[in-house]
Amino acid sequence: MLENPYLDQCAFRVEKVSDSTKGAHPLEIRLSANFSSPARIREFLSGRRCAHAALSSLGYPMFAILRQKDRSPAWPFNIIGDISHSSELACAIIARPHLGIRGLGVDLLSLSRKINPGVIPKILSEQERDLWLPGKDPFPLNAKIAFSAKEAIFKCFYPLNKIYLDFMDAEILFIKDGIFKAKILKNPFNQNESRPLEAQGKVQIEQDHILTALLWKDEPWTDIKGDGF
Protein backbone atom coordinates (compact mmCIF):
# COMPACT_ATOMS: atom_id res chain seq x y z
CA MET A 1 0.00 0.00 0.00
CA LEU A 2 1.28 3.44 -0.86
CA GLU A 3 2.13 5.37 2.31
CA ASN A 4 2.45 8.98 3.36
CA PRO A 5 5.87 10.07 2.00
CA TYR A 6 6.21 12.81 4.64
CA LEU A 7 4.42 11.31 7.62
CA ASP A 8 5.46 13.89 10.22
CA GLN A 9 4.89 16.89 7.99
CA CYS A 10 1.88 16.14 5.81
CA ALA A 11 -1.48 14.41 5.64
CA PHE A 12 -1.90 11.94 2.80
CA ARG A 13 -4.71 9.92 1.27
CA VAL A 14 -4.79 7.43 -1.58
CA GLU A 15 -7.90 5.75 -3.03
CA LYS A 16 -8.95 3.74 -6.02
CA VAL A 17 -10.50 5.84 -8.78
CA SER A 18 -14.26 5.29 -8.73
CA ASP A 19 -17.59 6.79 -9.79
CA SER A 20 -18.49 7.77 -6.22
CA THR A 21 -19.27 11.42 -5.56
CA LYS A 22 -19.40 10.90 -1.79
CA GLY A 23 -16.89 13.20 -0.14
CA ALA A 24 -16.72 15.62 -3.08
CA HIS A 25 -18.02 19.18 -2.78
CA PRO A 26 -21.18 20.01 -4.80
CA LEU A 27 -19.30 22.73 -6.71
CA GLU A 28 -16.65 20.20 -7.69
CA ILE A 29 -19.35 17.84 -8.96
CA ARG A 30 -20.87 20.71 -10.96
CA LEU A 31 -17.47 21.63 -12.41
CA SER A 32 -16.72 18.03 -13.40
CA ALA A 33 -19.96 17.83 -15.38
CA ASN A 34 -18.25 20.01 -18.01
CA PHE A 35 -15.48 17.46 -18.61
CA SER A 36 -15.43 15.60 -21.89
CA SER A 37 -15.26 12.01 -20.66
CA PRO A 38 -16.56 9.87 -17.79
CA ALA A 39 -12.99 8.76 -17.06
CA ARG A 40 -11.87 12.37 -16.54
CA ILE A 41 -14.80 12.97 -14.19
CA ARG A 42 -13.92 9.89 -12.13
CA GLU A 43 -10.26 10.89 -11.86
CA PHE A 44 -11.02 14.50 -10.94
CA LEU A 45 -13.57 13.67 -8.24
CA SER A 46 -11.46 10.83 -6.83
CA GLY A 47 -8.56 13.25 -6.41
CA ARG A 48 -10.84 15.77 -4.70
CA ARG A 49 -12.17 13.08 -2.36
CA CYS A 50 -8.60 12.28 -1.35
CA ALA A 51 -7.86 15.95 -0.77
CA HIS A 52 -10.93 16.41 1.42
CA ALA A 53 -10.05 13.33 3.47
CA ALA A 54 -6.51 14.61 4.03
CA LEU A 55 -7.76 18.10 4.88
CA SER A 56 -10.34 16.72 7.30
CA SER A 57 -7.65 14.75 9.14
CA LEU A 58 -5.91 18.07 9.81
CA GLY A 59 -9.10 19.71 11.08
CA TYR A 60 -9.96 21.80 8.03
CA PRO A 61 -13.63 22.36 7.15
CA MET A 62 -15.16 21.31 3.85
CA PHE A 63 -14.68 23.76 0.98
CA ALA A 64 -14.64 23.47 -2.80
CA ILE A 65 -11.26 22.84 -4.45
CA LEU A 66 -11.88 24.22 -7.91
CA ARG A 67 -9.33 24.92 -10.65
CA GLN A 68 -7.16 27.84 -11.64
CA LYS A 69 -6.80 28.89 -15.28
CA ASP A 70 -3.76 26.59 -15.60
CA ARG A 71 -5.96 23.70 -14.31
CA SER A 72 -4.02 23.36 -11.05
CA PRO A 73 -6.02 23.03 -7.81
CA ALA A 74 -7.25 26.36 -6.43
CA TRP A 75 -6.18 26.05 -2.80
CA PRO A 76 -6.98 28.74 -0.23
CA PHE A 77 -3.95 30.95 0.33
CA ASN A 78 -2.92 29.25 3.58
CA ILE A 79 -3.04 25.64 2.36
CA ILE A 80 -0.16 23.90 0.61
CA GLY A 81 -1.09 20.70 -1.16
CA ASP A 82 -1.16 18.67 -4.32
CA ILE A 83 -3.30 16.06 -6.06
CA SER A 84 -2.36 13.36 -8.56
CA HIS A 85 -4.06 10.45 -10.26
CA SER A 86 -3.68 7.69 -12.77
CA SER A 87 -6.61 5.90 -14.35
CA GLU A 88 -6.63 3.49 -11.37
CA LEU A 89 -5.51 5.46 -8.29
CA ALA A 90 -5.81 8.99 -6.94
CA CYS A 91 -3.95 10.64 -4.08
CA ALA A 92 -3.59 13.96 -2.30
CA ILE A 93 -1.00 15.39 0.07
CA ILE A 94 -1.54 18.39 2.36
CA ALA A 95 1.10 20.17 4.43
CA ARG A 96 0.61 20.39 8.17
CA PRO A 97 0.42 24.06 9.17
CA HIS A 98 3.16 26.10 10.86
CA LEU A 99 6.06 23.96 9.61
CA GLY A 100 7.44 26.42 7.05
CA ILE A 101 6.45 24.26 4.09
CA ARG A 102 6.22 26.33 0.92
CA GLY A 103 5.81 23.73 -1.80
CA LEU A 104 4.54 20.17 -2.28
CA GLY A 105 4.47 18.07 -5.40
CA VAL A 106 3.26 14.52 -5.85
CA ASP A 107 2.96 12.33 -8.93
CA LEU A 108 1.37 8.93 -9.52
CA LEU A 109 2.49 6.91 -12.52
CA SER A 110 1.00 3.53 -13.37
CA LEU A 111 3.64 0.94 -14.20
CA SER A 112 1.32 -0.26 -16.97
CA ARG A 113 1.21 3.13 -18.66
CA LYS A 114 2.70 3.01 -22.14
CA ILE A 115 5.22 5.77 -22.76
CA ASN A 116 6.37 6.29 -26.33
CA PRO A 117 10.16 5.77 -26.43
CA GLY A 118 10.27 8.50 -29.04
CA VAL A 119 9.73 11.14 -26.33
CA ILE A 120 12.84 10.10 -24.37
CA PRO A 121 15.13 12.79 -25.86
CA LYS A 122 12.54 15.40 -24.82
CA ILE A 123 12.28 14.29 -21.20
CA LEU A 124 15.70 12.84 -20.31
CA SER A 125 19.05 14.59 -20.81
CA GLU A 126 22.02 12.79 -22.33
CA GLN A 127 23.45 12.23 -18.84
CA GLU A 128 20.14 10.82 -17.62
CA ARG A 129 19.89 8.52 -20.63
CA ASP A 130 23.36 7.18 -19.83
CA LEU A 131 22.26 6.53 -16.24
CA TRP A 132 18.73 5.21 -16.66
CA LEU A 133 18.69 3.54 -20.08
CA PRO A 134 21.47 0.97 -19.68
CA GLY A 135 20.03 -1.92 -21.69
CA LYS A 136 17.56 -2.86 -24.39
CA ASP A 137 14.41 -2.03 -22.43
CA PRO A 138 13.11 1.13 -24.17
CA PHE A 139 11.73 2.61 -20.93
CA PRO A 140 13.00 0.78 -17.81
CA LEU A 141 11.86 1.38 -14.24
CA ASN A 142 14.40 4.06 -13.28
CA ALA A 143 13.60 6.04 -16.42
CA LYS A 144 9.93 5.98 -15.41
CA ILE A 145 10.89 7.11 -11.89
CA ALA A 146 12.89 10.00 -13.37
CA PHE A 147 9.92 10.94 -15.55
CA SER A 148 7.58 10.93 -12.55
CA ALA A 149 10.06 12.80 -10.33
CA LYS A 150 10.24 15.63 -12.84
CA GLU A 151 6.46 15.94 -12.69
CA ALA A 152 6.62 16.17 -8.89
CA ILE A 153 9.35 18.82 -9.09
CA PHE A 154 7.29 20.97 -11.44
CA LYS A 155 4.18 20.63 -9.29
CA CYS A 156 6.12 21.52 -6.15
CA PHE A 157 7.61 24.75 -7.49
CA TYR A 158 5.28 26.09 -10.15
CA PRO A 159 2.60 27.42 -7.75
CA LEU A 160 5.15 29.59 -5.92
CA ASN A 161 6.10 32.00 -8.71
CA LYS A 162 4.42 30.54 -11.82
CA ILE A 163 7.82 29.85 -13.38
CA TYR A 164 7.41 26.94 -15.78
CA LEU A 165 9.91 24.10 -15.50
CA ASP A 166 10.22 21.87 -18.54
CA PHE A 167 11.43 18.26 -18.41
CA MET A 168 14.88 19.38 -19.50
CA ASP A 169 15.07 21.98 -16.69
CA ALA A 170 15.79 19.27 -14.12
CA GLU A 171 18.05 16.23 -14.11
CA ILE A 172 17.46 13.17 -11.92
CA LEU A 173 20.95 11.93 -11.11
CA PHE A 174 20.34 9.58 -8.15
CA ILE A 175 17.62 7.00 -7.47
CA LYS A 176 18.09 4.57 -4.61
CA ASP A 177 16.48 3.36 -1.37
CA GLY A 178 13.29 5.36 -1.80
CA ILE A 179 15.09 8.62 -2.60
CA PHE A 180 15.65 10.64 -5.74
CA LYS A 181 18.07 13.55 -6.05
CA ALA A 182 17.72 16.18 -8.72
CA LYS A 183 19.73 19.02 -10.17
CA ILE A 184 17.36 21.85 -11.09
CA LEU A 185 18.96 23.77 -13.90
CA LYS A 186 16.40 26.57 -14.11
CA ASN A 187 15.84 28.52 -10.91
CA PRO A 188 12.15 28.17 -9.96
CA PHE A 189 12.22 31.35 -7.86
CA ASN A 190 14.10 33.81 -10.05
CA GLN A 191 14.26 33.54 -13.84
CA ASN A 192 17.40 35.67 -13.86
CA GLU A 193 19.34 33.33 -11.55
CA SER A 194 21.32 30.79 -13.51
CA ARG A 195 23.00 28.72 -10.77
CA PRO A 196 21.60 25.18 -10.48
CA LEU A 197 19.88 24.03 -7.31
CA GLU A 198 19.53 20.59 -5.78
CA ALA A 199 16.49 18.84 -4.40
CA GLN A 200 15.83 15.50 -2.76
CA GLY A 201 12.48 13.74 -2.93
CA LYS A 202 10.78 10.45 -2.11
CA VAL A 203 10.01 7.40 -4.25
CA GLN A 204 7.64 4.48 -3.61
CA ILE A 205 6.69 1.55 -5.81
CA GLU A 206 3.50 -0.15 -4.66
CA GLN A 207 0.09 -1.13 -6.06
CA ASP A 208 1.58 -1.31 -9.58
CA HIS A 209 2.39 2.40 -9.35
CA ILE A 210 5.31 4.74 -8.89
CA LEU A 211 4.73 7.56 -6.44
CA THR A 212 7.21 10.43 -6.30
CA ALA A 213 6.97 13.38 -3.95
CA LEU A 214 8.92 16.54 -3.20
CA LEU A 215 8.56 18.90 -0.24
CA TRP A 216 10.24 22.29 -0.08
CA LYS A 217 10.60 24.32 3.10
CA ASP A 218 11.31 28.01 3.49
CA GLU A 219 15.04 27.46 3.89
CA PRO A 220 18.03 28.56 1.81
CA TRP A 221 19.00 26.33 -1.08
CA THR A 222 22.52 24.96 -1.28
CA ASP A 223 24.32 25.64 -4.52
CA ILE A 224 25.67 22.55 -6.19
CA LYS A 225 29.41 22.12 -6.25
CA GLY A 226 30.68 19.49 -8.65
CA ASP A 227 28.00 16.87 -9.21
CA GLY A 228 26.30 17.72 -5.91
CA PHE A 229 25.83 14.09 -4.84
Q: Express each pLDDT in 58-98 by its tens digit.
A: 999 999 999 999 999 999 878 999 999 999 999 999 999 99
pLDDT bin (cut points 50, 70, 90) of residue 225 is very low
- CA 157-161-164 angle, 5° bins: 65
Residues of the chain with CATH 3.90.470.20: 10-105
Query: Rounded CA gap, 91 and 212, in Å?
Result: 11
Kind plus residue range of the DSSP H or E element containing 201: strand 197-206
Nearest to 10 by CA among 84, 87, 76, 106: 106
Query: Rounded CA gap, 163 and 100, in Å?
Result: 21
Listing from the earlier edge strand, what are the strands of the sheet with 101-110? Answer: 101-110, 209-217, 197-206, 179-184, 170-176
Query: Rounded CA gap, 85 and 49, in Å?
Result: 12
pLDDT of residue 191: 66
pLDDT of residue 77: 79
Which is more confidently placed, 195 or 204? 204
Cβ-contact 97, 206 below 8 angstroms: no
Percent of the chain whose predicted confidence (pLDDT) is above 90: 79
User: What is the length of the chain?
Assistant: 229
pLDDT bin (cut points 50, 70, 90) of residue 219 is low
Residue 130 amino acid letter: D
Q: Which CATH class is domain 10-105?
A: alpha beta
Cβ-contact 80, 102 below 8 angstroms: yes
Percent of the chain whose predicted confidence (pLDDT) is above 70: 93
pTM comes to 0.92
Listed in sequence order, the residues at least 6 apart from 159 whose beta carbon sits closer than 8 Å to its beta carbon are 72, 103
Which is more confidently placed, 211 or 191? 211
At 16, phi and psi to the nearest 5? Answer: -75, 140
Listed in sequence order, the residues at least 6 apart from 31 whose beta carbon sits closer than 8 Å to its beta carbon are 44, 66, 67
pLDDT of residue 218: 67
